[in-house]
Structure 1
């Protein structure tokens, strides 16, 4: 058996991280890592999380399992945060990736003939998960490289080929890797198209609160959930609560007979992880259910969000000044941790080789990994290699 194992492709982000660590040059800039970092280069523990953990440590009386679906208080809290209501079936998952995996397994078990449609580009793990599930996939145009915005005509043309029962994977906010998000009007057009086609949205909601605020970042998801008869939402708590290693996530499924859907979701957990992890989920529930902790968390998250917007504005201004063009103005309009600068691979390589600037080959950068003092040097490096 083991002699048939094949080498797995190298992970581009992990390879970039190792190259950055091996680079001895002072002042090098790491824009590839996919986690939030503060001005000191740390991924801090939120104060609200510390307070919630302390309360759990003092009050928790057992470490026994919760249920196959996960803690009910956590699932209700996630429904309220995402949907503003508590209907629909739900399970706790191992992070947002686990939620996506369970959603795809649900599709495979019910409509294996369905095609899963992905934005071009998308998070690299999306196609890998779909392939592993043995489902068909197709792409729809998303980013207009000329403007840095949404290619709505291309998107509409491609999704015009969606068949009834197909799955359309959408980023609820803060699109990864581009940072470009549909406007409210564009979301309405997309929702109407999916409704006409009889397609089911699978919404990846990994950055709620990182874009325009906790409520604003849920608006598109709520619209789709209200307008369409069926929807799936794969939610991650890693970024919004800064609890990456706790692997807290949830899959929400709307439509159908709730009890029947809930029973099938719990069975999916039973066949993969049996019982989901609870510590991170309990931290989230403790924060969301306590008015004081909730307010403290929202204030911390808002500071993170506004900090990224200030960095975006500073970088867009610095690139305009250094390059003598406003072609990078879209960086200030984008939201979330990521933007794709639209640089050719040769320039990305020159930035790494000659200036110690590390970004992915498609020129995706992590705005949250950029310190204020590095903004001018990054802009000058882009101008020097362009």
Structure 2
């Protein structure tokens, strides 16, 4: 049976982790895998989540199935967190999924059911797993211009022209905030132009909201979704709790659907649940239940927001500090864009050979396209890192 198979290519990002672990150098630095790290380099459990887990442990009396849609309280909480009061509740559906990736795959399968000939348009560049997930559902992909590596900014005019190439019924995958891998985001004025274009050309918005709270704030990072909800007739959102609740291994995510009316939403939601039944039957409960407790308890919710804001502020300060260190070491403004970007990632804009040189000479690990994890930076190592970067230019 297996004799016709060949070795699957290794995941480039996860392979970096193995290389990093095997590197004996004490001064090595991991800027690859996208997990939040504190000033000590640890990825800790958030205090509010830990308290919620204690309450869950003390109060849980059974491990029986919850259902295909997952935790109902979690689903309602995610609708509030993402959409707030931007649209009538009867037009919204949410179901818990196995992480943000599970939400992406569920939506892709739903699109395959609803319109099998749709093409899913991805930003250039986009998260490395977007295309494989969409292709696994049997859908075609195309790309639209997004990032200018030379300036570190969004190629907005080119993006709009590129989207005009999509045909009615096509799907446009958009990063709701904290674009991965570049960190370069659209302004709200630009989001309005995109929303109007989607309606004008009959395109379906599919939003990946993986980093809500890591950019400009919880509400600010959901502003794109809420703006779209007030303009487009229907849309899909894949939301992840991995980063903002730091429940990475617990795989907590949600599919959120907006229908043109209550009946359309009901039908789309039922089909989404039929997809999850085939994919994994029912989502894991523990992490989502803990998130639900945080979202429902006012004191825990405020404690969580405070801790999340501390994480966000730290990443902003690291951005500013790294950009300043690079400015001083390079005697140029070439890397100033890093301070303007938002979220966990940015791209340095150096070559793959230069990335390799950073790893080989200094033990600095980042993805080949020069994407680096801002949260992996260390406050007391910014100058050393900047010197190393400038030395390989």
**Equivalences, count:** 386
Normalising to structure 2: TM-score of the pair? 0.96
- Residues 78 and 94 of structure 2 are in contact (CA less than 8 Å); yes or no, is this contact kept in structure 1? no
Match of 1:127 among 120, 125, 131: 131
Structure 2 match to 1:49:
49
Q: Which moved more, 1:56-65 or 1:240-249?
A: 56-65
**Are 1:353 and 2:360 an aligned pair?**
yes
In 2: Cα distance, 1:26 partner to 1:57 partner: 39
**Partner SS, residue 372 of structure 2:** strand
Give 5+ residue unaligned stretches, structure 1. Answer: none
Alignment-derived partner of residue 238 in structure 1: 242
1:214 aligns to 2:218 (yes or no): yes
Partner residue in 2 for 1:379: 386
Q: Residue 144 of structure 1 aligns with which residue?
A: 148
Query: How many Å apart are 1:361 and its aligned residue?
Result: 0.7
2:107 aligned residue: 103
1:227 pairs with 2:231: yes
**2:126 partner SS:** coil
Contact 2:329 2:390 in 1 (8 A): yes
Task: Give the alignment partner of residue 307 of structure 2, picking from 293, 300, 318.
Answer: 300
Q: What SS does structure 2 have at the residue aligned with 1:240?
A: coil
Partner of 1:370: 377
C-alpha displacement at 1:5, in angstroms?
2.1
Moved more, 44-53 or 86-95: 86-95
Distance 1:60 1:29 in 2: 41
Q: CA deviation at 1:235?
A: 0.5
Deviation at 1:258, TM superposition (A): 2.2
Structure 2: distance between partners of 1:224 and 1:183: 13
**CA positional deviation for 1:226:** 1.8
Determine the C-alpha separation between the residues in 2 that align with 1:290 and 1:99: 25
Q: Which runs of 5 or more residues in structure 2 are unaligned?
A: none
State the partner residue of 2:332: 325
1:15 counterpart residue number: 15
SS at match of 1:239: coil
Root-mean-square deviation (Å): 1.0
Aligned equivalents of 1:360, 1:377: Cα separation in 2: 19
Cα displacement string for residues 270-306 of structure 1 (whole angstroms, at most 9, x for unaligned residues): 1111121111111111101110000000000000000
Q: Confirm or deny: 8 A CA contact 1:168 1:200 kept in the other structure.
A: yes
Q: Of 183, 191, 197, which residue of structure 2 is paired with 1:193?
A: 197
In the TM superposition, 1:35-46 aligns within 5 A as 35-46=35-46
Structure 1 segments (4+ residues) deviating >4 Å: none
Shift of 1:138: 0.3
1:27 corresponds in structure 2 to: 27
